Amino acid sequence: MNIRSLARFCVLVTVVVGGSVVAQGTDRLSLGGWYGTAQYFQWKEDVFGLEIKEDGMLYGIGGQIIEQPIEKGGVAFRLQIEGCLGVVDYDGYNQPAMTPATGNTVYQILKTEGDVGYAFPIAAKTSLAPLAGVGFRFSRRGIGADADWGDVLDFSWNSDPIEVQYIEDWWSFYGILGGRVVSKIGADAVLFANIYAKYPFENTEKMDTFFGDYKVHPGKEWSGCLEVGVKTGNLFVALGYEALRFSQSDVDSDAVAAVFQPESSADIVSLKVGVSY
């Protein structure tokens, strides 16, 4: 199944399941809808003590379903799909010479996650749900001195290979452990907070460079995220932070080069604003 087919499938599941979610007052969090998101994104790599850094804004849309009882026990679950695009600043080094260089990096990101658990009342109008689930994240990263939004919207990146000179495709399948606290704070308002730890089953990175194609497996490390939001009526807003961590990968080599992914990290601060139906 390719990335576009996966995205269509996830959207279909979100629409079908979300269409069956009916608001049941504020005795539960019942959030099913679409949102826009703006994210401050920062990426760092440590290459033999030299730092490569990228930072800037990504923008996207997503759909999610969250169900959790508040005042009695019951099943809680979440389904989410999100896509983001953007151009960020690149401050690093030319490869393989490792001479200082600046430019732009294009990102195309697709993420889908799901988790399920059981909610327990822990206080008046408040419940806690331990959760477990799985997730998938695909990220296309294109580094080029003249990369711009035209390249962001070109999903093939074959029309102008000069602008995007170096492409990485990342796939990560991971498990999720965490919890959600939901609290009724008004006649028609619900506060929710999610906290998750994530550990990859598999990380794969394919590099398309000017000196050849290579495939490596970035090291597995714990990552995590925290999100706090409020739903009032049919509107919701949420603020989140996600930390992604990767240790150094294995080495893929040929007669031309030996390639690896150095220790890397991403820090993402996000704002979501959406409508729940």
Q: Which domains does the chain have, with CATH numbers?
A: 3-276 (2.40.128.100)
Q: Specify the pLDDT at position 125.
A: 93
pTM: 0.85
Q: Identify which has the larger pLDDT, 3 or 48.
A: 48
Contact between 153 and 142 (Cβ < 8 Å): no
Q: What does the chain come to in residues? A: 277
Q: Specify the pLDDT at position 152.
A: 65
Cα dihedral 238, 225, 80, 184 sign: negative
Contact between 218 and 169 (Cβ < 8 Å): no
Which residues make Cβ contacts (< 8 Å) with residue 30, sequence separation at least 6?
21, 22, 23, 24, 66, 67, 276
pLDDT in tens, 149-204: 666 666 555 444 445 577 899 999 999 999 999 999 988 899 999 999 999 999 99
Share the mean pLDDT of the chain.
85
Q: Specify the pLDDT at position 47.
A: 86
- Give the bridge partners for 234, in sequence order: none
